[in-house]
Structures are given as structure tokens and as C-alpha cells.
Amino acid sequence: DGGITQSPKYLFRKEGQNVTLSCEQNLNHDAMYWYRQDPGQGLRLIYYSQIVNDFQKGDIAEGYSVSREKKESFPLTVTSAQKNPTAFYLCASSILAGSTYEQYFGPGTRLTVT
């Protein structure tokens, strides 16, 4: 059963704590992405990675960190430096070949920080 899995579905943390969100894909996709979704603001890109051990900042990378040690995994850490971390976080992946830009999304993780 191919796809993108994100865990957990809901996550609660106290302010000041770092938290890591998991993203795994078995689609053999080269690229992976993290987006943040807030009401009325669409999806905003946090980080992306085209190959293992390489990643680039997106539009709102401050307060976040990522790693890409394996092709199928792209965990996101929300650090205590992120001023407003409560949001719905979405992971996506895509092939990097030819002219296709199709991105496939996971089910998301809703993070609540109090």
C-alpha cells in the first residue's frame, strides 16, 4: 500500500519544548516537502529536499529544522524558537523527473502548543 504517512495525527506540546513530526513515503519519490497550513492562508512552504542529505529553506523556515538521512523519511522539528507553532502541518513528496510537478500529500499532523 503506497503513500505518505505522517504521525502522529494530533500532537500537543507545552510552550518551550521542541517537537518532531514524522513523515515517511514509500513512493520512491526524490523530493519531499513540509508545508504549514493556517486558516485563510493556504499552504506555506517550510522546507524542501530534493535528495538525501540536502535540503533548502522555504518561505517560512524560521523556527524549524529538518533532516533527510534516508530517501523515504523527512522529519520536521518545530523548535521553541517558532513563535506561533500551533498549525496543521503537511508533508508532501514528488518525482523529480521530466516536466512533472505533481506533489502528493500526507494526511497531516495537527500540532497544538499551549
Partner 1 sequence: QQQVKQSPQSLIVQKGGISIINCAYENTAFDYFPWYQQFPGKGPALLIAIRPDVSEKKEGRFTISFNKSAKQFSLHIMDSQPGDSATYFCAASGLTGANNLFFGTGTRLTVIP
Residues that bind partner 1 (CB under 8 A): 4, 6, 31, 33, 40-45, 48, 50, 56, 58, 90, 92, 94, 96, 99, 101-108, 110
User: How near is the Cβ of 57 to partner 1 at its closest, in Å?
Assistant: 11
User: How near is the Cβ of 42 to partner 1 at its closest, in Å?
Assistant: 4
User: Under 8 Å CB-to-CB from 68, ≥6 apart: which residues?
Assistant: 32, 49, 51, 52, 53, 54, 55, 74
User: Under 8 Å CB-to-CB from 50, ≥6 apart: which residues?
Assistant: 30, 31, 56, 96
Q: Residue type at 37?
A: Q
User: How near is the Cβ of 4 to partner 1 at its closest, in Å?
Assistant: 8
Q: Which is nearer to partner 1, 49 or 82 (CB)?
A: 49
